[in-house]
Structure 1
Amino acid sequence: MTGHAHPVDAERVRRARERVPAAEDVGRLTAVLGLLADPTRARVLHALEEVQELCVGDTALALDVTEDAAGYALRVLRTAGLVSRRKEGRVVFYRLADGFPRPLLEHCLRQLTSLTRDQEED
């Protein structure tokens, strides 16, 4: 609690309290956003958005990273539930998980990238 004896704007405080997500939900959100803080994992998600499905080797070639780096990124993203996989013989293909919020990639992350790029140019 703060040192305020009374809220400056009681109505805004009430609305904020009603609409701010629970700490547990925000904890899950920040954990997912933390996964996206890794450049390889973020690029994997973008690549899967563009071509729908890739195996580890093709992911590595597309991102110009090692197969170990691509495989690790895909494993972390799969464990988090952001990516799913299917096997075809000995080859495992990865894709964005059903229900993945595509606007996150299509708009939000690209917009944030652009916003931060604009700040660097100023």
Structure 2
Amino acid sequence: MSAQGPKKSEKVETCDVRVIHLERVAQARDEAISDREAERLSLTYKALGDPTRLKMVMALAGGEMCVCDLAAFLGLTESAISHHLRRLKDLALVKSRRDGQILYYSLDDQHVSRILKIGLEHIRE
């Protein structure tokens, strides 16, 4: 995929003959994630699929920011930012810490940074 968008395939390629490779199917079943894990991962990617939330998470990859900072950065209301942060926090993508009257947000852990880095590497190929 390029930075301009997904590549369009002219034709979907399929096998010329129908053969099921039972060993590979069994291996895939053994290694499959649970329905609960699939749902959670899907929700995580849906959350990151929103351009505003993605920009927020990318900004937080550079260091912690408060709601006011994120609102100024994105040109949105603090209420809108708080709504997005609540969703990201529920999915353990961001965490918060209070310093007096200021509530700072940051990425929850290094896994989130790695997801972002790998995604950027993929689209920049």
**TM-score with structure 1 length normalisation?**
0.76
> What is the percent sequence identity of the aligned residues?
32
The 2-side partners of 1:30 and 1:61 are apart by: 30
Q: What SS does the corresponding residue of 2:79 show, helix, strand or coil?
A: helix
Comparing both chains, which one has the higher relative contact order based on Cα–Cα distances under 8 Å and sequence gaps of 6 or more? 2
8 Å CA contact 2:93, 2:112 repeated in 1: no
The 2-side partners of 1:65 and 1:22 are apart by: 37
Amino acid across the alignment from 2:92: G
8 Å CA contact 2:95, 2:108 repeated in 1: yes
Amino acid across the alignment from 2:71: A
Aligned residue for 1:36?
A: 48
Residues 1:104 and 1:87: Cα distance change in structure 2 (over 3 Å): same
Structure 2 residues not aligned, in runs of 5+: 1-18
Deviation per residue, 1:28-83 (Å, 9 max, x gap): 11111121122211111100002x10000101111222222212111221122211
The 2-side partners of 1:35 and 1:53 are apart by: 19
Shift of 1:112: 5.0
2:107 paired with 1:96: yes
**TM-score with structure 2 length normalisation?**
0.75
State which of 23, 44, 58 in structure 1 corresponds to 2:35.
23
Number of equivalences = 107
Shift of 1:14: 1.2
Q: More helix by proportion, 1 or 2?
A: 1
Structure 1 residues not aligned, in runs of 5+: 1-6, 116-122
Q: What SS does the corresponding residue of 1:81 show, helix, strand or coil?
A: coil
Backbone CA RMSD of aligned residues = 1.9
